[in-house]
C-alpha cells in the first residue's frame, strides 16, 4: 500500500498542530488534571472554532464528513501535547451511532455530540443485564466517565446508548495514573438503555475509531518524547560537551527513532485501511494499537531516563507522557490481546 497525504489532509494536520501547540499548554493541562481532567476551554474551541468534534460524521448531522486518516491527524496532534480532551469516548460513540444507529438516534444524538455539547464515554466488553429496554450492571474503566453525559455499552449481545445523567445511574470517580484521562465506574440499576439497531456494525466502527485514536495519540506522544529529549541533549552540558554527543546517548535516541518510524507506518496503514474498507483493516488495527502503544511507552521511559534527575520531577512534563503512554497500553485491550489477535489472523489454528 502506498500512502501520501492529500493537500487537504496536510492542511488539516498543520491546523491542528498549530492549534494544540498554542492552546494545549502544560499549564492548562495541569490545571485540568487538578479538576475533571478536561480543559473545557480547549474542548470548546476544538468543537466550536475548528468543528473537529464532528470529525468522521456526515455533514447533515453537524459533522465535517472526514475519515479515519483525518481523525488520526487530530489524535496525533492531541497526543503530542497530552491534551486533556474527552476524545476517545467521543469518537467511539459518534462512530457507533453514525454506522449502526437508526435515523432517529442519529438525529437526536449526533448534532449535540458534533457541537461538543455532550461528552461521551465507552464501556468495552461489558456484560450488562438488559430487560425491556432497562439495563443493570457495573461498568469500569470509563474514560472521563465522571463528567460524561452518554455512555456506549459494548455487550455480547449488542450495543446500547445510556444517558448517564438519567435515572438509575450512579457514577464513582477514581484517582487514576493518567490524570489527563481520568477513569470512573458506573453502576446501573434499571437505567433506560437505547439499543443501536446494527449492534455488530456499531461496535466494529467504535472499536476501529477507538484503536486509531489511541494509536495516533501514542504516535504523537512518542514523537514529542523524542523531540524534547533531542532538544535537551543539545542544551545539557557535561564534561564540557553537550550530552547528546556521547555515543551511548546517541544509541538510545536512534533506537527511539527507529521504533517511532515503524509505529508511524502502522498507524497510517490502519487509518487508511479502514477508510478504504480494506481486507487488511482488522489486522492493521490490532497491529497499530499494539505497536504504537508499546513504542510510546518505550520513548516516554527513555525520555525520563535521558533527562537525568529533572526527568523524574513533577515540574517536568516527562511524567505526563509516561502516564499517558502507560494508560494507552491498557485501554481497549493490552498489547498481548492485540498481538494474539494478529497471530490468530496470520497463523490461524496454529496460533
**Helix ranges, the chain (H):** 7-23, 26-33, 40-44, 68-80, 87-100, 103-114, 199-235, 247-275, 281-306, 318-330, 335-347
Q: Is the pTM of this model over 0.85?
A: yes
Nearest partner of 27 among 77, 80, 83, judged by Cα? 83
Tens of pLDDT, residues 51-108: 999 999 999 999 988 999 999 999 999 999 999 999 999 999 999 999 999 999 999 9
Q: What is the CATH number of domain 201-350?
A: 1.20.140.10
Per-residue pLDDT at 351 exceeds 70: no
Tens of pLDDT, residues 119-177: 999 998 888 999 999 999 999 999 999 999 999 999 888 999 999 999 999 999 998 99
Provide the pairing of β-strand 134-143 with 183-195. antiparallel
The Cα 78–Cα 59 span in angstroms is: 23
| Residue 333 CB contacts under 8 Å (≥ 6 apart), including other chains | 124, 211, 289
Residue 246: its pLDDT value, please?
78
Amino acid at each position: 500500500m502506498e500512502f501520501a497525504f492529500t493537500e487537504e489532509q496536510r492542511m488539516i494536520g498543520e491546523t491542528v498542530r498549530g492549534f494544540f501547540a498554542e492552546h494545549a499548554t502544560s499549564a492548562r493541562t495541569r490545571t485540568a488534571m487538578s479538576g475533571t481532567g478536561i480543559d473545557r476551554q480547549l474542548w470548546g474551541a476544538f468543537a466550536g472554532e475548528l468543528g473537529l468534534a464532528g470529525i468522521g460524521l456526515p455533514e447533515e448531522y453537524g459533522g465535517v464528513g472526514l475519515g479515519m486518516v483525518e481523525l488520526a491527524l487530530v489524535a496525533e496532534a492531541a497526543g503530542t501535547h497530552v491534551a486533556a480532551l474527552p476524545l476517545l469516548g467521543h469518537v467511539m460513540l459518534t462512530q457507533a451511532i453514525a454506522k449502526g444507529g437508526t435515523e432517529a438516534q442519529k438525529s437526536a444524538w449526533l448534532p449535540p455530540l458534533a457541537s461538543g455539547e455532550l461528552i461521551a464515554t465507552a464501556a468495552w466488553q461489558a456484560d450488562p443485564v438488559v430487560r425491556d429496554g432497562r439495563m443493570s450492571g457495573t461498568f469500569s474503566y470509563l474514560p472521563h466517565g465522571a463528567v460524561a453525559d452518554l455512555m456506549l455499552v459494548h455487550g455480547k449481545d449488542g450495543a446500547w446508548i445510556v444517558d448517564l445523567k438519567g435515572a438509575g445511574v450512579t457514577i464513582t470517580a477514581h484517582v487514576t495514573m493518567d490524570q489527563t484521562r481520568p477513569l470512573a465506574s458506573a453502576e446501573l440499576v434499571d437505567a433506560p438503555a437505547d439499543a443501536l439497531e446494527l449492534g455488530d456494525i456499531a461496535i466494529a466502527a467504535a472499536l476501529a475509531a477507538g484503536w486509531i485514536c489511541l494509536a495516533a495519540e501514542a504516535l504523537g506522544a512518542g514523537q514529542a518524547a523524542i523531540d524534547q529529549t533531542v532538544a535537551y541533549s543539545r542544551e545539557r552540558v557535561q564534561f564540557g560537551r553537550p550530552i547528546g554527543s556521547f555515543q551511548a546517548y546517541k544509541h538510545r535516541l536512534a533506537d527511539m527513532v527507529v521504533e517511532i518510524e515503524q509505529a508511524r507506518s502502522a498507524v497510517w496503514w490502519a487509518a487508511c485501511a479502514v477508510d478504504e474498507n480494506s481486507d487488511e483493516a482488522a489486522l492493521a488495527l490490532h497491529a497499530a494499537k499494539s505497536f504504537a502503544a508499546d513504542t510510546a511507552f518505550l520513548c516516554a521511559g527513555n525520555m525520563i531516563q535521558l533527562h537525568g534527575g529533572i526527568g523524574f520531577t513533577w515540574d517536568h512534563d516527562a511524567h505526563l507522557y509516561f502516564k499517558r503512554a502507560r494508560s494507552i497500553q491498557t485501554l481497549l485491550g493490552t498489547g498481548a490481546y492485540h498481538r494474539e489477535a494478529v497471530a490468530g489472523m496470520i497463523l490461524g489454528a496454529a496460533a
